[in-house]
Amino acid sequence: MQIGMFYQIQVPKPWTADSDHQKYWELLEQVSYAEELGLASVWMADHQFRSEWSHSSAPDVTLAALSQRTSKIRLGIAVVVPPVQHPLHIAARTATLDILSNGRVDLGVGRSGYPYQMAAFGADLADATGMVDEALEIIPKAWAPGEFTYQGRHYNIPLREVHPKPVQKPHPPIWLGCSQDETFQKAGSMGLGCLAMAGGGRERLTKLIDLYRGGIREAEAAGRPVHNRVSAGTIAFCGEDRAKTMERAAGILDWYRAQGVLRDVKVWSEQDPDNVPEDYRWHYQRSTAADSPKRNEESSLELIQQGRYCIGDPDDCIRYLEEYEAAGLDEAIPLFQVGSATHEEVMTTLRLFGKYVIPHFKERESKARSAAR
């Protein structure tokens, strides 16, 4: 299992005049350091209007800056949202990033789980899934040599040739953002990579990965190109003093959990419950349910001590990640920059991952390969 990193660019209040500026420049230093330590990838969220929770609203621009400070780490967008971003723009901007990074881009695509982020753009969300499906057809065609045309329900493109073309052949890997059972199976059957979250626990993720692999077998049987990988996000906070690390992380997790609840209230505040678009009904019911996991009454420290997060000393983090490796996860992409964690704390976590955690999994991979020979 590889280890990467995921950024939402969280900026808790109170803010100063340079809060955003500071977080972005810290990110540049963190990712450069992460590459030195052997982390495999960095994924940037694509969120709008998510104050405090995520100030990552132009991930391709951020990744373009990172492409000039790094040379090996993969650069991923998690995820572009076709209902508010035209597939032709997505294709051109991603290809440009692929050129600037010398072929290191991964493109995640999804519809987003929150209409609040899209309503301000005037997007029609009656068939957001259909728009994503058509975008997944259009983008590879736009990357292929020569002209192409497309006629669909949502997009009608006359004969055109999109420039520039990406470096990677046949094109950068495409991933689907997944949260529901059917989406995991769908990603597999389309031969796409799968972007998930580990928040539902190891048993839940194991079931979802099994659905994904079943879909992959369908894609292989149909002769489709296959990018058979699952990456999942979590929270990571690591220190050498186990007790102090858990205590400090509990305060950070308190903020994170509270923000999750506030986010759900905010993103559905404009929605008439009787007119939730069908594509978003599952998300609405999950977010507003009285028994939502986000309303777990156990303390953050108790959850950490139970091993529900990648938090503690290096051995705790290794044990946590081993469980998800056993579930079939190909890559963990933790949020290292989370809540009120300081730049110094993020760098400490990265340093300990580079010293203990990453070598542990590389050694396991080496032993597994030797045994297979």
User: Which pLDDT tens digit goes with each residue over 232-255?
Assistant: 999 999 999 999 999 999 999 999
| pLDDT at residue 294, as a whole number | 56
Q: Which fold has domain 2-372?
A: TIM Barrel (3.20.20)
Position 368 scores a pLDDT of 79
Residue 370: pLDDT band with limits 50, 70, 90: confident
Q: What is the mean pLDDT of residues 275-288?
A: 77
Q: What is the mean pLDDT of residues 71-83?
A: 97
Q: Comparing 56-65, 125-134, 163-172, which segment has the lowest mean pLDDT?
A: 125-134
Percentage of the chain modeled with pLDDT above 70: 97
Distance CA 64, CA 68 (A): 7
pLDDT at 103: 98
Average pLDDT over residues 294-307: 88
Predicted confidence at residue 281, as pLDDT, reads 80
> Can you give the pLDDT at residue 136?
98
Tell whether the model's pLDDT for residue 270 goes beyond 90.
no
The token duo for 278 is: 């069908």
Q: Spell out the domain ranges in the chain.
A: 2-372
The string over 131-164, giving b where at least 16 C-beta atoms fall within 10 Å of a residue's C-beta and e elsewhere, is: bbbbbbebbebbbeeeebebeeebbebeeeebee
* pLDDT, tens digit (0-9, with 9 covering 90-100), for 198-228: 988 999 999 999 999 999 999 999 998 999 9
Fill in the DSSP letter of residue 355. Answer: I
Is the confidence at residue 95, as pLDDT, over 70?
yes
Instruction: Report percent pLDDT > 90 for the chain.
Output: 82
Reference 24, options 46, 56, 49, 48; nearest CA is 56
Tell me what pLDDT residue 293 has.
Answer: 57
Residue 146 identity: G
Nearest to 3 by CA among 307, 310, 296, 373: 310
pLDDT for res 290: 61
From the CB of residue 190, how many other CB atoms can be counted at a distance below 10 Å? 20
Per-residue confidence band for 18, with pLDDT thresholds at 50, 70 and 90:
very high
Average pLDDT (172-192) is 97
pLDDT at 351: 98
Rounded mean pLDDT, 128-134: 95
Computed over every residue of the chain, the mean pLDDT equals 94
Q: Which of these, 279, 339, 267, 281, lies nearest to 309 by C-alpha position?
A: 339
CA distances from 214 to 12, 124, 178, 221, 331 (A): 41, 32, 15, 11, 19
Q: What is the pLDDT of residue 291?
A: 59
